[in-house]
Amino acid sequence: MSIQVTELKHFFWNLQNYITNSFSEVEDQAFLSDEWVKPVDSPLQGYGRTMIVENGHFFERAGVAFSHVSGQKLPPSATAQRPEIAGGSFEAMGVSLVFHPRNPKVPTVHMNVRCLVAQKEGIDPVWWFGGGMDLTPYYGNVEDCIHFHQTCKNVLDTFDEKYYPVFKKNCDAYFYLPHRQEPRGIGGIFFDDFSELGFEQSFNLTQSVGKSLVDAYLPIAKKNQAQSYTPEEKDFQEYRRGRYAEFNLVYDRGTHFGLQSGGRAESILMSMPPVARWQYQRRIEPGSPEYQLTDFFLRPRDWLTQ
């Protein structure tokens, strides 16, 4: 895997640069670059670079993390679907991002793309790709939802038209909070354990998904960045961010993998919103924009047949 690992690192490292450079336009400042290396006595070896904006003009928090790590034992979150490699060593690499805008009229976005290679004595090395992106609005906009999903579909259709409906369904199922009986947002695409196109084409698909984040989200950010908002709307954003935090801490496999494998907590938890709130009871006025979020936008639907 030496040549392929080099190719993977080159892409993921440059993808991080491409995304942060693109979004510096709306933030009007560069992302802070924080490079790190795991200590030699750590169970997880490797290095990474976290690029982040906190308390910015546009973003309250925006983090884009690159990591390349290896370990001697796969954590349970990585072997639940592949018990045959339990106990094996692994090498993982990828880019993950979460953008939490200041303005509640601009949705939060998440994206990650990654590759994992597992080795265990007695079996051939196992590799797979995973990733996707999803959008979490606080005040819904149909045009934004359509644009986001259409961009995802356009990218996947260049490989096979079967992928968008499958990956959308995966996303709807994955980003769901059972204890709230509601999705985290309006979805997008999600894939994991993906190797069916062979290494080169599976990697090409992963690259295309990663790069398309800019086309999917930057126009939405630019369109909505100047909208005015009230303190009450900001309060509602923070209330809904509580749902985001619940998903990341309770259900997200990436968070679990990172923490279970001894990853760098600061980089893993950068996906958390900087401010969130929980209320024991909160009445939402029927017919209000806040009510429409759960009554319309968070209902499962095909956004491309509106």
118 band by pLDDT with thresholds 50, 70 and 90: confident
Task: Return the pLDDT at 151.
Answer: 98
- CA 28 to each of CA 18, 112, 213, 289: distance values in angstroms, whole numbers, following the listed order: 15, 24, 19, 30
Model pLDDT for residues 259-296, shown as the tens digit of each residue: 777 777 787 788 889 999 998 888 999 999 999 999 99
pTM: 0.90
Task: Return the pLDDT at 4.
Answer: 77
Task: Return the pLDDT at 76.
Answer: 62
- The secondary element (H helix, E strand) that includes residue 110 is strand 108-120
Give the residue from 34, 120, 6, 115 showing the smallest Cα distance to 74: 120
Task: Return the pLDDT at 81.
Answer: 62
Q: Is 32 left (phi over 0), alpha (psi -120 to 50) or beta?
A: beta
Task: Return the pLDDT at 3.
Answer: 45
Reply yes or no on whether the pLDDT at 93 is more than 70. yes
Task: Return the pLDDT at 163.
Answer: 98
Which residues are marked as active site?
A: 110
Task: Return the pLDDT at 1.
Answer: 44
- What is the pLDDT averaged over residues 195-206? 95
Q: How far apart are the first and last CA of the chain?
A: 45
Reply yes or no on whether the pLDDT at 220 is more than 70. yes
Largest Cα–Cα separation, the chain: 61
Model pLDDT for residues 123-143, shown as the tens digit of each residue: 667 888 999 999 999 999 999
Domains of the chain with CATH codes: 2-305 (3.40.1500.10)
- What is the pLDDT averaged over residues 146-162? 98
Report residue 225 as tokens. 């960045």
Task: Return the pLDDT at 2.
Answer: 44
Q: What percent of the chain has pLDDT over 90?
A: 68
Model pLDDT for residues 22-51, shown as the tens digit of each residue: 998 898 888 999 998 877 777 678 899 999
Dist CA 208 CA 187 (whole Å): 18
83 band by pLDDT with thresholds 50, 70 and 90: low
Task: Return the pLDDT at 123.
Answer: 67
Dist CA 197 CA 182 (whole Å): 33
Q: Tokens 């047949």 map to which residue?
A: 305
- What is the pLDDT averaged over residues 172-182? 93
